[in-house]
Chains A and B, each alone.
Chain A
Amino acid sequence: GENVEQHPSTLSVQEGDSAVIKCTYSDSASNYFPWYKQELGKGPQLIIDIRSNVGEKKDQRIAVTLNKTAKHFSLHITETQPEDSAVYFCAAYRRSNYKLTFGKGTLLTVNP
């Protein structure tokens, strides 16, 4: 089955700095890569996604990149703010079995 590795497990940045979280996946049949943000005591919330036929996607301060050849994708957050502090999960979706496989998560702390 699919295996998604996520790094780093924790990340601490100063407000205004950029944050980068990286993931790799194993199954070349995966074709959709969402990112979720989970705040304390809440369920994961979809914040951005990228399809396998796209290399990069941006939404305000958030961007995702995908390298299908290398099987890795990344989340970039610019101009970080304290409210960006949360656990971020990457995931890979395989159309053939409709399953999302999640990475283990990254605890991002933005220090004011």
Chain B
Amino acid sequence: DAGVIQSPRHEVTEMGQEVTLRCKPISGHNSLFWYRQTMMRGLELLIYFNNNVPIDDSGMPEDRFSAKMPNASFSTLKIQPSEPRDSAVYFCASSPGLAVAPYEQYFGPGTRLTVT
């Protein structure tokens, strides 16, 4: 079975540019999570969706960050405008669903974002 798919794997952009990260969850999974990983702060939950609906976005650092899930097989995380401090690895994870096994999260390979 295909796992969580993320694209691009690497992104280098200049400060002020818009960045869009993409995620395809595991088929049949109803919950999707976006995380950010840095050396200083570790793994931080940014936002999660259940059945395509955002449930908790309290981890989104600023209004420059936005996330959407237009359907069960696709989600985006957008940063506009990007800043150097946004440089990190961004992970998408999916789980069978909040009502089933919300704690079993399966991570994608991540997108390494570098903002210069």
Whether both chains belong to one complex is answered with: yes
A residues whose Cβ falls under 8 Å from a Cβ of B: 32, 34, 36, 41-46, 49, 89, 93, 95, 97-105
Given contacts A44-B91, A97-B56, contact A102 B43 (CB under 8 A): yes
Given contacts A34-B103, A43-B4, A97-B56, contact A102 B108 (CB under 8 A): no
Whether the pair A98, B104 counts as a contact (CB closer than 8 A) is no
Cβ–Cβ < 8 Å partners of B56 in chain A: 97-99
Given contacts A41-B109, A43-B4, A43-B109, contact A100 B103 (CB under 8 A): yes
Given contacts A42-B109, A44-B91, A97-B56, contact A32 B42 (CB under 8 A): no
Known A-B contacts: A43-B91, A104-B42. Give 4 more (CB < 8 A): A43-B108, A46-B104, A89-B43, A98-B98
Can you name the residue of chain A whose Cβ is closest to the Cβ of B48?
A: A98
